[in-house]
Structure 1
Amino acid sequence: MRVIGLMSGTSHDAVDAAAADLALDGDTLVLAPLGLIGAAYPDTLRTALAAALPPAATTLADVCALDTRIGQAFARLAVRADRELCDGRADLISSHGQTVYHWAEDGRVHGTLQIGQPAWIAEATGAPVVSDLRSRDVAAGGQGAPLVSLIDTLWLRGRPGVCAALNLGGIANLTVVPRAGEPLAFDTGPGNALIDAAVRKLTDGRLDHDADGALAARGTVHRGLLERLLAEPYYALPPPRTTGKELFHLPYLRAALAATGPVADHDVVATVTELTARTVADAARSVHATEVIASGGGVRNPSLMAALRRTLGPIALRVSDDLGFPAAAKEAYAFAVLGFLTAHGLAGTVPSCTGARHPGVLGSITPGRRPLVLPPPDRPAPSRLEIFRR
């Protein structure tokens, strides 16, 4: 089955589309990558989205407009991905949508909202669309994240020691896969979220991320600000735990700066880069990880990766490309896998990773132009994932 996974993360800057040939071979799910393309949100859409995100106030009219315009942006990229990566033969689209709110209180998730109306994708491509993949896990008592934990578990099971897959998106998360015993997953804290916020503050909005880690490299870590940020109670919560930009945003950083006193702009960027590295390293040590395999946009930041190598100490740090999984596309491929599993009636969660009461078949299906025909749900759930390199 040819599946396109659509993903826009907590950095809310662009949409990625990864296409894959997926097939079940006994207890093995075989993934053959077909490629990745991406498209930035139009400036007007990104500005409107940023203005509506917490802690800002918004209206239902704004939410409706954003749901439509994000759905249309996803649809445009899906059409391109079908044409350029699948020769116009995509069987299924799996859309993560854009997370706009993750309702977490006292360690429990009560709801989660991803927008980007899937009807626009189905109408534009003619293919069925799986969407709203997080809500079912929340309804089953889970955190709704990190959903990539199932793919990490299938992919890394059997590696020596305690392997931890690290996703460095706006929020950073770990999936911990021991050689024996149950896997574990949780959000460690900010990945790029506070780095991006600091860059926007430094440049008055002209830049939205620290390209090549250049700004952090010009600064020095401010110990007072770092200690204040490390005192955040979230880091003491037991896993599974999840968070988002509802907590880690520009006003959060401004409040810490107001309590700390004057800090040079480049030192702020260096400090929040160190914060991400320290909280990831602390989390990896807490689960006795022997190896960390990183993916996501943060792996393109040399300053962050250097800080991670230093703070991880003897824990080995690798990039997922080393094991055949493209770091820039891994999360989009993961959602292609989740859509494939849903279409086959197979669970897409690991309860020990999300905290749900039981594994769940995820998402809702929007039919395409043809009658909806799903594979017979008589296949065993896969126990491992193999990346097939053409």
Structure 2
Amino acid sequence: MRVLGLISGTSHDGIDSAVVDWSMEDGVLTGVVERTGERPYDHELRARIVAALPPNPIDMAEVCRLDTLIGQAFADAAEAGGPADLICSHGQTLYHWVEGGTVRGTLQLGQPAWIAERTGVPVVSDLRARDVSAGGQGAPLVSFFDLLLLAGLPGRSGALNLGGIANLTVRELGIAYDTGPASALMDAAVSAATGMPYDEDGRLAAAGRVHEELLRDLLAEPYYRALPPKTTGKELFHPGYLARIASPYGPALPDLLATLTALTAETVAAEIRRHRLDTVIVSGGGVRNPVLVGMLRERAGRARIAPSDEFGVPSDAKEAIAFSLFGWMTAHGLPATVPGCTGATGPRVLGAITPGRGPLTLPVPLREAPDRMRLDAASARGARAAVR
């Protein structure tokens, strides 16, 4: 079954896509990654998304407009993504309602009807809400994908995603959680100072020096000491949060970015050391930042830091591939959550299904979930640029 996964993460810079042809035999799920892509949001839409993020106020009229506009942007990405039997759309998280460490609700915008109408293909969407309603954090859902990917690796292993927020999955403990910001605060600093979306290749951070006193203040954030399961996002790590802590020091932009890079590296590495990991498979946009990866390797102790590309998972497309997997699981009536990772009371089949054109026809439900996964991304090489 060919499933197109679509996601826009906490960097809210655009839509990642991956078409994966899934098949299962003897408990092993094989995914052939046929195409991956990235479609940036247009400037006006991205600006409206940023303006709607907490702690900024927003009215219901703008929520409605954004639900439509993001849905249409996802429909554009789906149309360019290539043929598929099913689409699984994460949408764009606008708010994750957390009180006292408990997730009360979550909101992803991007009306799936626009995708189904444009493509004629059924769409699985709104995946996080079911886990939250079962007492979970709604994140990190990618832990289900990670544990299948890590199965069979020697030693103690983990999977790390460096997006706007960093999340870590630990195979031996069957847990996963957000460690804190990855690029969220770095991107906020660059955007405020230059109008650019991020520090390309970490060049500004490379020119700066870590401000140790500011770093100590940043590391005092209580979130880092909270025990998993836990999740966070830009409802905590937003530009106002950064300005409140950093402004008294008045650091130059390169020094601020060097310090924020060290913050991400240290908060992630502390968890890697705590779990005594031997291998960490890393994905996400942070893999392209050599300053961040260098600091992480310096602080991660004995762990080997390996890009997910070595394991058949293009680092830029991991979460899109994971959501393709979730769509396949839902279509086959299988749960795609790990209660020990999200904190839910049990595993759940995720999402709601919007029919495409014609009768809604789903595969015969499977009795058993896969216990291992094998990915082949060879056919996706060279195809990424074609779907941008």
TM over 0.5: yes
Which of 229, 241, 253 is residue 218 of structure 2 equivalent to? 229
| Matching of residues 18-33 of structure 1 within 5 Å | 18-33=18-33
**Match among 171, 175, 181 for residue 184 of structure 1:** 175
CA-CA distance at 1:386 after TM superposition: 0.8
Which moves more between the two structures, 20-29 or 230-239? Answer: 20-29
Normalised to the residue count of structure 1, the TM-score between the two structures is 0.95
After superposition, what is the alpha-carbon deviation per residue over 1:76-135, rounded to whole angstroms, capped at 9, x for unaligned? 1101112xxxxx3x1000000000011112221111110000000000000000000000
| Separation (CA, whole Å) in 2 of partners of 1:332 and 1:157 | 20
Alignment partner of 1:242 is 2:238: no
Provide the rounded CA distance (Å) in 2 between the counterparts of 1:71 and 1:115: 7
* Aligned equivalents of 1:250, 1:7: Cα separation in 2: 23
CA distance in 1, matches of 2:365, 2:24: 12
> Which residue does 1:261 correspond to in 2?
249
Which residue matches 1:155? 149
Q: Give the drift of 1:257.
A: 1.4
Consecutive unaligned residues of structure 2, counting only runs of 5 or more, are 380-388
SS of the counterpart of 2:80? Answer: helix
The aligned runs of 1:33-72 (5 Å cut-off) are: 33-72=33-72
- For 2:76 and 2:244, locate their aligned partners in 1 and report how far apart those are by CA, in whole Å: 39
Aligned length: 378
Q: What residue identity is the alignment partner of 1:262?
A: G
Amino acid across the alignment from 2:37: I
Give, in angstroms, the shift of residue 324 of structure 1.
1.3
Structure 1 distance, partners of 2:46, 2:368, is 42
Task: Give TM-score scaled by structure 2 length.
Answer: 0.96
Q: Aligned ranges for residues 18-167 of structure 1 at < 5 Å?
A: 18-82=18-82, 88=83, 90-167=84-161
Question: What is the match of residue 359 of structure 2?
Answer: 371
Distance in 2 separating the partners of 1:152 and 1:51: 32
How far apart, in 2, do the equivalents of 1:129 and 1:276 lie?
A: 35
- The answer as to whether partners of 2:280 and 2:305 remain within 8 angstroms in 1 is yes
Determine helix, strand or coil for the equivalent of 2:171: strand
Whole-angstrom CA distance in 2 between matches of 1:159 and 1:198 = 38
Aligned-pair identity in percent equals 56
Residue 298 of structure 2 is matched in structure 1 by 310
Partner of 1:213: 202
CA–CA separation in structure 2 for the residues paired with 1:72 and 1:262: 41
Q: What letter corresponds to residue 13 of structure 2 in structure 1? A: D
Tell me which moved more, 44-53 or 120-129: 44-53
Contact 1:26 1:380 in 2 (8 A): no
User: 5+ unaligned residues in a row in structure 1: which ranges?
Assistant: 83-87
Q: Secondary structure at the match of 1:329?
A: helix
In 1, the alpha carbon distance for the partners of 2:180 and 2:333 equals 32
Name which of 175, 178, 182 aligns with 2:169. Answer: 175
C-alpha RMSD of the superposition: 1.0
1:202 and 2:202 equivalent? Answer: no
Give how far 1:201 is off.
Answer: 2.2
SS of equivalent to 1:99 = strand
Contact 2:334/2:366 (<8 A) preserved: no
> Does residue 1:3 correspond to 2:3, yes or no?
yes
Amino acid at match of 2:351: G
Q: Partner of 2:341: helix, strand, or coil?
A: helix
The residue aligned with 1:335 is 323
Once the two structures are TM-superposed, the CA of residue 24 in structure 1 deviates from its matched residue by 1.7
Write the distance in 2 (CA, Å) between the matches of 1:70 and 1:239. 31
Where 2:4 maps in the other structure, the secondary structure is strand
Contact residue 116 and residue 123 of structure 2 kept, 8 A: yes
Q: Distance in 2 between matches of 1:168 and 1:257?
A: 22
Cα distance in 2 between the residues matched to 1:35 and 1:361: 26
Shift of 1:361: 0.1
**Contact 2:277-2:302 within 8 A present in 1 as well:** no
Select which of 324, 337, 340 maps to 2:312.
324
After the TM superposition, list the runs of 4 or more consecutive aligned residues in structure 1 that deviate by more than 6 angstroms. none
CA deviation string 1:222-263 (max 9, x = no partner): 0011000000000011011100000001111100013x4221
Q: Distance in 2 between matches of 1:311 and 1:13?
A: 29
For residues 286 and 335 of structure 2, the distance between their equivalents in structure 1, rounded to whole angstroms, comes to 29
Indicate if the aligned counterparts of 1:8 and 1:15 stay in contact, CA closer than 8 A.
yes
